């Protein structure tokens, strides 16, 4: 078996992963500048070079890992794990770590250093978790792991890009048609030209031709300046042992655990698509990438991305991962993130990401037993709640208000807001546990279902699931059983019912 570093599908895979990563870079530039008032030197001279280091080492590792798997397994087509900046942590660390420090101290340097320490903490949690994640994977039903991903794929990936396409059909529909023709209709374009490349080119041409783009912004963004990454170990260690870190552990620990669990679920998704990667080394590299980010100036953790089955169906191999790492590194080190964002509209690549979301959601049903389909659907609910709350909060912000200002009582007259928020808090845990519980019930493994309910009660007692409070206009996590005791009692009651069923099953044959 001959291994090819570059396959026909790698170009499409590259454009899809590149657009996904580019969006994260744009968010970093915009949010760090507007919310944190970080100077350009800090964003372009420290943070983005650190992002470049973390993405380059990770993408190179996963590219070479794909080659190793292909050689060892003899598979002709192996797809590298997609990898990039973690979106959820990006928002969490800006809003709930660095911004509070900035508000208290009015010191942007201190906010950045605390962000470095938070990033380091998340990476160490991911790294340590790599040694127990294999056990979690073995005891958790596949439907439970994939249901969570499917819910995220439908909501946070597919819906966002679907909205972008339908917001501007003159630009978005042609690229969408090209992607659907090749990847759903399974028709090759003439000369085997990758549909993703054609979609990005046509989408960009349409956007420029219809006057959607700004030539002045493009010209102003073309400033090439080399930014060399530097080690910031002293800054990291100084902030790590500061008094600030204790107060932000309730943000850092859950983010690290969520990143670990999400990456584990993505490994299961890759295995279901035919690529069985070693759990420990894959997750350890994910943690090391985040540690590298912190050491070289980035305040944002990295993660194994959702979407492997989609890239695999596109025909991508190892090359798309390496190409993405190199391209993103060049953009970050040369200060060209703004230029590419001004050149290529997001809508041009939106169809590729929409396809990825569709593929992930479909996989959850295709590779799990038919009888477990209800469990997959149950696993959707927490992700739908999380997405619904995001839409609600975004709408309120656009109106110049927030959940606290409007009031829970007023919102409750229109929708069960308390349930929406509770289901959203720790939704990755909730989705997996509810789906696993449902699988156990379907298979009549009542003791297993009861144990999953007890796990839910235990995690709820910590506040990682369902715990929240509202402060300073934001919904934030509330830890400990003070606010979650009804859920602890509820899950314990469920466990007692399931244990009773197990007792009856062993004593009397159930029909």
Q: Tell me: the pLDDT tens digits for 207-226? A: 999 999 988 888 887 888 89
Q: What is the mean pLDDT of residues 42-68?
A: 95
Torsion of Cα atoms, 135 then 139 then 143 then 149, to 10°: -30
pLDDT reported for residue 1:
64
Is the per-residue pLDDT at 412 higher than 70?
yes
pLDDT, average across residues 368-396: 93
Query: Mean pLDDT throughout 29-36?
Result: 86
Which burial class, exposed, middle or buried, applies to 136 when counting CB atoms under 10 A from its CB (0-12, 13-18, 19+)?
A: middle
Angle, alpha carbons 355-359-365 (nearest 5°): 155
Q: Give the C-alpha separation, 319 to 66, whole Å.
A: 9
If pLDDT is split at 50, 70 and 90, which confidence band does 428 have? confident
Q: pLDDT, tens digit, for every residue of 240-268? A: 887 777 667 767 877 788 788 888 888 99
Domain boundaries, the chain: 10-368, 374-507
Residue with tokens 């054609």: 198
Residue 405, SS3 per DSSP: helix
Summarised one tens digit per residue, pLDDT across range 267-295 is: 999 999 899 999 999 999 999 999 999 99
Summarize the confidence of residues 228-235 as an average pLDDT: 93
pTM of the model: 0.79
Report whether pLDDT(77) > 80. Answer: yes
How many CB atoms within 10 Å of residue 334?
17
Mean pLDDT for 484-490 is: 97
Kindly report, residue by residue over 431-480, the tens digit of the pLDDT: 999 999 999 999 999 999 999 999 999 999 998 899 999 988 888 888 88
For residues 428 and 456, the model is more confident at 456
Give dist(CA 119, CA 125) in Å, integer.
10
pLDDT mean over 52-65: 96
Token look-up 């028709």 returns 187
Phi-psi category of residue 473: left, alpha or beta, with phi > 0 → left and psi -120 to 50 → alpha: left
pLDDT band at 508 (very low <50, low <70, confident <90, very high): low
For residue 509, is pLDDT > 60? no
pLDDT at position 120 is 93
In angstroms, the CA 474 to CA 9 distance is 43
Kindly report, residue by residue over 324-356, the tens digit of the pLDDT.
999 999 999 998 988 888 888 888 888 888 888
């Amino acid at each position: 078996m001959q291994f090819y570093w570059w396959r026909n599908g790698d170009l499409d895979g590259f454009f899809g992963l590149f657009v996904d990563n580019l969006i994260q870079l744009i968010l970093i530039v915009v949010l760090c500048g507007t919310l944190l008032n970080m100077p350009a030197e800090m964003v372009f001279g420290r943070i983005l070079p650190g992002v470049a280091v973390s993405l380059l080492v990770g993408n190179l590792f996963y590219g070479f890992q794909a080659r190793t798997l292909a050689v060892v397994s003899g598979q002709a087509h192996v797809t590298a794990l997609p990898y990039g900046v973690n979106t959820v942590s990006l928002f969490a660390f800006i809003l709930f770590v660095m911004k509070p420090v900035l508000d208290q101290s009015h010191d942007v340097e201190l906010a950045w250093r605390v962000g470095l320490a938070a990033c380091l903490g998340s990476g160490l949690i991911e790294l340590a978790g790599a040694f127990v994640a294999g056990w979690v994977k073995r005891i958790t039903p596949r439907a439970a792991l994939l249901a969570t991903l499917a819910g995220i794929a439908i909501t946070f990936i597919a819906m966002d890009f679907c909205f972008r396409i339908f917001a501007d059909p003159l630009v978005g529909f042609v690229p969408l048609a090209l992607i659907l023709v090749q990847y759903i209709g399974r028709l090759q374009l003439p000369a085997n030209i990758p549909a993703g490349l054609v979609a990005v080119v046509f989408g960009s041409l349409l956007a420029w031709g219809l006057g959607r783009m700004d030539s002045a912004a493009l010209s102003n963004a073309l400033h090439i300046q080399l930014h060399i990454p530097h080690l910031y170990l002293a800054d990291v260690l100084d902030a790590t042992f500061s008094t600030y870190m204790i107060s932000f552990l309730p943000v850092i620990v859950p983010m690290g655990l969520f990143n670990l669990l999400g990456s584990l679920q993505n490994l299961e998704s890759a295995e279901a698509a035919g690529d069985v990667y070693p759990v420990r080394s894959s997750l350890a590299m994910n943690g090391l990438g985040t540690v590298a980010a912190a050491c070289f100036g980035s305040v944002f953790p990295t993660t194994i991305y959702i979407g492997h089955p989609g890239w695999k169906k596109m025909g991508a191999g190892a090359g798309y991962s390496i190409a993405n790492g190199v391209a993103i590194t060049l953009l970050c080190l040369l200060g060209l993130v703004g230029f590419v964002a001004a050149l290529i509209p997001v809508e041009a690549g939106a169809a590729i990401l929409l396809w990825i979301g569709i593929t992930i959601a479909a996989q959850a049903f295709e590779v799990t037993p038919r009888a477990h389909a209800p469990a997959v659907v149950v696993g959707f609910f927490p992700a739908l709640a999380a997405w619904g709350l995001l839409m609600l909060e975004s709408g309120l912000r656009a109106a110049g208000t927030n959940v606290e200002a409007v009031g829970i009582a007023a919102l409750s007259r229109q929708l069960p807001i308390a349930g929406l928020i509770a289901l959203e808090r720790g939704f990755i845990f909730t989705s997996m546990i509810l789906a696993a519980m449902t699988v156990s019930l379907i298979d009549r493994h009542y003791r297993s279902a009861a144990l999953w309910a007890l796990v839910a009660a235990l995690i709820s007692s910590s506040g990682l699931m369902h715990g929240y409070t509202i402060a300073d206009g934001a919904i934030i996590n509330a830890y400990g059983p003070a606010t979650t005791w009804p859920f602890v009692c509820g899950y314990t009651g469920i466990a007692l019912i399931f244990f009773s069923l197990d007792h009856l099953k062993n004593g009397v044959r159930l029909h």
